[in-house]
Structure 1
């Protein structure tokens, strides 16, 4: 097409003489190319007419030749435009004035006396622009001093900086347009005479839109007031409009948006919100969004004086913006890029402080000299114990046991976490560690969160340790007083070598002669303070913690950054895969039919419920009610046991022993069976109201079956109609990988519920997300290691040291309060 245009241009330049080329004349060249053009292109008939006209070009007068050439050029130009996609119109331009800043904080005290310089701990009521009344409202949100308010981050943003043309508006998104007023009409609502409506018809080069504003009140419905509003928006005026785009009968529309009439299309916007990113904060009664933003504007200028806890060189290498700039931009972002950069910096700071605290605690723990614990060569207790086992250790078990024994042999205190999926054999590894300590002449302690789990551990140990001539005892809240006195005496004089128990081990009368190793099972159920209290019962005992709840790496680094982590990532051979099925509550009979079939084969079944007894507030089936129904109506010919946390310890033990021995074939239980109950013949796990449990907890419960050779089943009964509940449970049906399930649980429910408790050991994070900011956490941990490697006492990082001290003081105060 461009070749034809060049030929036409050359013919026009030479005076329409029908130029002779190398092979043919201009007219013949045009006629041939027009006839051979692709017929699929638009207007083929017009091209054929032009070709016929060029065949008679030599006989035309110069004026008619000129007209024909012009017609052909116009046709080719139109054809070219129709074949090229139209470039979309770019977004409108909008000039913004500088964000109005609050007046500087007053430097005068009462009576005109100079006030002290404002600092992060200054009370909000003393700041000019806030005042006592607003300060009282802010106190309801837990905001008392300047630091509290600056660190009260927005929970969301209204993106009025999203500048678009009218045709680019998307329903459900906030946006800003710059348009021309076509007409404006004010009227009273025909349904409500006290409601006035102002309707603007706007247009830009891409389309038209209708904008409505509503005014409730009799005075707004007067014709005079409505006329005055119409005069503010004369036809032809340029307006900037920001708001949420909603669907209307006329297509996308704005309802009650922010509107400003511009003095000219190039004039700047004076409004503080139009065209900007607007922060959205959590509010309280009596405190509106505008008032909170004004209070924030009053304190943000003070941030410049706070400085940055990180040196400039480090910020440059890690590509971090200044902290004062980050604090200002998180509340008053200029662009999306600066908002992302400021959030990254503040998330990084939260994780850095957390990691410096954890790594400092780890250094304090491991720097204390400890007695090396080594088994004598050859015939050690560990060697003899492994010979008693009816199975060899898996490669993963052997690797982790070797790591633990290498730690115990050092003159530094061990602090190690062992993670392993349900049934991976952590208990055997822990016993090997405890026997290493006992072989070295020390005592061991094994603490579990529940009596059921503690008794389960003790029964396993009681089967093996007497053969090794190692003394072992159990201490729980249910231990009789006489037995407790005997046990504590033996413990204090060193005759008792291994003590298994619950929180009862933390009590003051429990005193060890020579405690060498503390093992904490399901350690996330205990706080750091409880763990340290047990450690304080020895001179410098080593610490081994275990969990069968797979913890995502980000959560592990946040909670247990002071521990080395070992992972048993291999299941013992012979474990049959568990088939997981999701059923509706109405399909409960299918579950009962499967239970009957499995019991007929000599197997047993669990039925787990979230509640012990019926609740007036929650419409859920309870363990007591279901036990009655199953034993009397569904399985009258079977023995149905009952187990829950309110039962006395002896009753619990009796119920578990009856189930393990086969005296009861079905065990109705609460989550007491989540850990510790080990019955190889159990092949069915029915979980009622599965949507009420976390994924990690369901995975734990599922691990109670599949411990024998028979095929096992886990049936999840879901009574919820919520799509998210089904989505969560589908993850469990699809996957048997505990770590993948824990990652999904963290993403869907947050860290507090993944661990089954909102415990005080969780990191205090205002902005960071453990599920979304894993990469920033890794970066912060690397930088924390670098800083502490070069400056262990933080002597060259005084601001960072002060922040760490403040965080410790706050956590200590919270523990005292609890």
Structure 2
């Protein structure tokens, strides 16, 4: 490993100047270079003949030069070099633009390997701007070519030369990190071979095997690291042992509804955490409308009745206000003082609340990120809850944690995440899932239709409004854009409010409005001063308007399935039959398949799994805010199958050796320390 930690400038062919360019790509050591993987590959390994290659496709050809080079000058500052050749199928020309200097490179009768795009003009076949090699040592044709990320002053050919030099001199110093039993069990390529083949694969099969091996290893290192952090925090984070509170049973009996079995199970897990003198760090996932807020209320009740304060943070003022209204009503009979803290309060009111919070006169504070500002002090914070965790980063959660002496942390989200991914995205949290909806909730009728149905949809909306209901109409854009043919919220609002629904009250809501404007519009909708709300996805999170029973989504093909499911959850919250109408402008098979999934399922977890399958890689769910280490080759979404295998193996390893003290895990352990080095060297327990 010492050899691999040498400065990159000492690799043959690098030197100080190239080293400074490589540094811009975050390549500082030989180890960094070996793990600087290609972003894609160009397959030049498959040979064809000129007449058998489809026009417009690239091909590798074995050819013989059959005539002298000719230079044409169709106009000033432009030259075309043409070199006639033949292969086993027929004749053609090698063609280069503005590369006249190549004309003396070719001799009649000379045999070459070339690779380029096949073109046909009239009856003449051409190979456009080809790369060529005259002997096997050139190694430009007949293989899979790695394409690397680059920076100014550094070409792909230069990186290839440097990489070859590094592999020739330093590959032998790479240590195998996986134990032999794991390599054999999963039929993984040896690490040295994997690194060699990820850069210069001898064939497609070896490239796939190399990728699989390196993805497996990287995900294993990540998952083990997260498990170790979780174990360490579990053992080291002394927390509050809350008192047993007999009144909790009375509180549950007094609720205007019965808890579902799923809610009872999740609350038991929270109770068990609160019984222990160790800090709770728990994620509660529950589909839209599954009743997460009441679980938070039960935890807050026990916290306050044990003599501590509780805080609940929501991402928007309207959602914080909604929580405050529902929770203060629940707690009013139980002598629990609940207050709301948001950015729009007057300075005088804020100062008064902050003083009471510090003195312990407030039991529960509910608010936005205003709760984590520096000047806020608690008397004795015992429980901190964040709602819709994906709207907050890890840092905000950490700040909230520092407001007390290791308060219990409860994180709630209605964004369904498959458990496999949740173990990574929330690797430091225990996970509880509410997987059952309260009885009596009506299924939301979901229809996917084309734009030809708009008139019928508008008539249906009108009929429902005349019966006293309200409707959401969601668009993907705020302003009209000439470059993208999509419905914009502003354009649609203008049309609907002035023509189609001119006899009704129509409002507009979008993300570019300031928080006060947004809250005013939402409040109007909530109070039924608006019949229709035209909006972007800012209404995706949490707001409860029981009287609204129609959700129409324009350009539904532009949204992820999980996001559409969240939007659908804004209706169906009252006694009325609710409807979600997805206006699909997409013509392709995947767009239709995605709409079909939403029509046939109301289970957010099933929908999110399907979303991953159909969308593949991409930001299904932002990962940077989770503070995860950057991955070099694995993708949490497209490599979910490997991730599932890795998690089983990681759990087995942790059962046998939770601190990886065994010599068989020595290299794995050092890789974990390296991956999580930003957290400090005391990551692994000794």
Return the match for 2:549 from 662, 683, 696.
683
1:611–1:253 distance in 2 versus 1, CA, 3 Å: closer
- For residues 30-56 of structure 1, the C-alpha deviation after alignment (integer angstroms, 9 at most, x for no partner) is xxxxxxxxxxxxxxxxxxxxxxxxxxx
Local SS of the residue matching 1:230: coil
State the Cα distance separating 1:330 from its structure 2 match. Answer: 0.8
State the Cα distance separating 1:687 from its structure 2 match. Answer: 2.7
Return the match for 2:239 from 370, 385, 389.
370
State the Cα distance separating 1:365 from its structure 2 match. Answer: 2.4
Return the match for 1:289 from 152, 156, 165.
156
- Alignment of structure 1 residues 315-464 onto 2, 5 Å: 315-367=183-235, 368-377=237-246, 380-381=247-248, 383-464=249-330
Q: Distance in 1 between matches of 2:439 and 2:344?
A: 37
Q: Distance in 2 between matches of 1:168 and 1:196?
A: 24
Q: Which residue of 1 aligns with 2:107?
A: 229
1:516–1:211 distance in 2 versus 1, CA, 3 Å: farther
Contact 2:61–2:87, Cα closer than 8 Å, also in 1 = no
1:213 equivalenced with 2:94 (yes/no): yes
1:655 equivalenced with 2:521 (yes/no): yes
Instruction: Report the number of matched residues.
Output: 674
Q: Distance in 2 between matches of 1:287 and 1:597?
A: 65
- Alignment of structure 1 residues 526-565 onto 2, 5 Å: 526-565=392-431
Q: Distance in 2 between matches of 1:167 and 1:811?
A: 59
State the Cα distance separating 1:240 from its structure 2 match. Answer: 5.5
1:576 equivalenced with 2:442 (yes/no): yes
- Alignment of structure 1 residues 31-430 onto 2, 5 Å: 119-162=3-46, 184-186=66-68, 188=70, 192=74, 194-203=79-88, 208-210=89-91, 212-216=93-97, 229-233=107-111, 269-300=136-167, 301-312=169-180, 314-367=182-235, 368-377=237-246, 380-381=247-248, 383-430=249-296
Contact 2:178–2:217, Cα closer than 8 Å, also in 1 = no
Q: Distance in 2 between matches of 1:259 and 1:637?
A: 72
Q: Distance in 1 between matches of 2:3 and 2:560?
A: 44
User: Higher RCO, 1 or 2 (CA under 8 Å, sep at least 6)?
Assistant: 2
Q: Distance in 1 between matches of 2:140 and 2:197?
A: 15
Q: Distance in 1 between matches of 2:100 and 2:471?
A: 73
State the Cα distance separating 1:620 from its structure 2 match. Answer: 6.1
1:806–1:385 distance in 2 versus 1, CA, 3 Å: same
Local SS of the residue matching 2:564: helix
Q: Distance in 2 between matches of 1:652 and 1:261?
A: 68
Contact 1:492–1:511, Cα closer than 8 Å, also in 2 = yes
Q: Distance in 2 between matches of 1:767 and 1:431?
A: 42
Q: Which residue of 2 aligns with 1:753?
A: 619
Q: Distance in 2 between matches of 1:791 and 1:623?
A: 56
1:286–1:591 distance in 2 versus 1, CA, 3 Å: farther
Q: Distance in 1 between matches of 2:56 and 2:39?
A: 18
Local SS of the residue matching 1:562: coil
Q: Distance in 2 between matches of 1:690 and 1:787?
A: 44
State the Cα distance separating 1:556 from its structure 2 match. Answer: 1.4
Q: Which residue of 2 aligns with 1:765?
A: 631
1:777 equivalenced with 2:643 (yes/no): yes
1:159–1:493 distance in 2 versus 1, CA, 3 Å: same
Q: Distance in 2 between matches of 1:429 and 1:575?
A: 18
State the Cα distance separating 1:607 from its structure 2 match. Answer: 2.2
Q: Distance in 1 between matches of 2:425 and 2:337?
A: 34
Local SS of the residue matching 2:627: coil
Q: TM-score, normalised by structure 1?
A: 0.73
Q: Distance in 2 between matches of 1:240 and 1:651?
A: 67
Give the aligned CA root-mean-square deviation in angstroms: 3.8
State the Cα distance separating 1:682 from its structure 2 match. Answer: 0.9
Local SS of the residue matching 1:334: coil
1:472–1:322 distance in 2 versus 1, CA, 3 Å: same
- Alignment of structure 1 residues 677-756 onto 2, 5 Å: 677-717=543-583, 728-729=594-595, 731-733=597-599, 735-747=601-613, 753-755=619-621
- For residues 377-410 of structure 1, the C-alpha deviation after alignment (integer angstroms, 9 at most, x for no partner) is 4xx23x2333333322222222222222223223
Local SS of the residue matching 1:533: helix
1:803 equivalenced with 2:671 (yes/no): yes
1:171–1:579 distance in 2 versus 1, CA, 3 Å: farther
Q: Is there any run of 5+ residues in structure 2 with no aligned partner, and where? A: 682-686
